[in-house]
Amino acid sequence: MKKRGTGIAVAQYPTGLAGGGDVSQAFVKVNPDGTADLFIGSVDVGQGSRTVLGQMAAEELGIPFEKVRVHNQGSDTSPICFGTFASRVTYAAGNAVVEAAREAKSVLFEAAAPALQAKPEDLEVSGGKIFLREDPSRSIGFRDIANMANVFMKKMVMGQGLFARDHSPMDPETGACDPFCTMAWAAQLVEVEVDTDTGEVEVLRMVSAFDAGGAINPTLVEGQIEGGSVMGIGAALMEDLYPLYPAPEGQPTNLNTYVIPTAVDIPAKMESVIVECPSTAGPYGAKGIGEMTANVPAPAIVSAIHDAVGVWVDEIPVTPERLLRALEKVPS
């Protein structure tokens, strides 16, 4: 017999650390041809950080994204980044990139001010032009002033940025502290179909709402949500490192015995909603949601299974064997 159920789970998730350090650095160099080079130490593990950090640099410099080259070839030549962990890269490295781009921009403003008969603080940049804030018709091309500054004015158009949140020690009396840069929230609804004869569970539908703070690249955020959700399905229903726990025997040694989701396991209906509750200290309001996307599905799926068949399975993954054992304990 097949039964359907619906489950909901909510979560909150922090960004970064505050145990001291947790540093990200960035360098921005503007070239005579109006392009820019961004040097970062943050590693892109598939989440799209090179794209997002390049977008931030381009936004601050007022030039197209295509004009920014992102470099992070190795730790010998890259600035410091403490790592791609704690959902911190967009937030921490992003703050460093924005600071570096602003410093480079200030050099260009100093170079452009005499030509525009203005003070550097009265200038803005957008659309590849530097212009007077009160009179945009008075402008000079970004490429033109970049060339003049580098070649004729003997200026090195560079900026450096660093983000390291202040250490937040714990109060020895109360235990109070402020350990996180910012906090994000999430909610997920899951609909499942449970086969009570075989113990198999199929996820039919997932509706996810995740707080990204300010979504720098909504397409990448949506991909992060959906990719994390599928990873969460694996954790909830398939991936079992210790099938005979607490005994260590029986551990899977390859992908024939360690089962992970494939394309056929993706729910037919997936809806991802991006909620923007901007962080007061994040770059353009951004928060980190990377790891949180994989944390919410398991409790939602377990709740949906309970709604379908009336039993709680308190161990994941909810394999057919575990579910059938739980069903056997239900009084007939």
Mark whether 315 is an active-site residue: no
Q: How far is CA 229 from the centre of its chain?
A: 14
| CB contact set of 90 (below 8 Å; sequence gap of 6+) | 49, 52, 53, 216, 282, 283, 286, 287, 288
Report the alpha-carbon distance of residue 91 to residue 326 in Å, rounded: 43
| CB contact set of 147 (below 8 Å; sequence gap of 6+) | 32, 33, 34
Backbone dihedral angles phi then psi of residue 17, each to the nearest 5 degrees: -130, 170
The pairs formed by 319-324 with CB atoms below 8 angstroms and a separation of 24 or more are 319/199, 319/237, 319/238, 319/240, 319/243, 320/198, 320/199, 320/200, 320/201, 321/199, 322/199, 323/194, 323/199, 323/201, 324/198, 324/199
| CB contact set of 157 (below 8 Å; sequence gap of 6+) | 29, 30, 31, 104, 107, 108, 111, 146, 149, 150
Q: State the Cα angle at 8 between 5 and 12, rounded to 5°.
A: 160
| Residue 280 per-residue DSSP state | S
Report the alpha-carbon distance of residue 24 to residue 17 in Å, rounded: 12
Write down the catalytic residue from 291, 315, 321, 328: 291
- Which of the residues are catalytic? 291
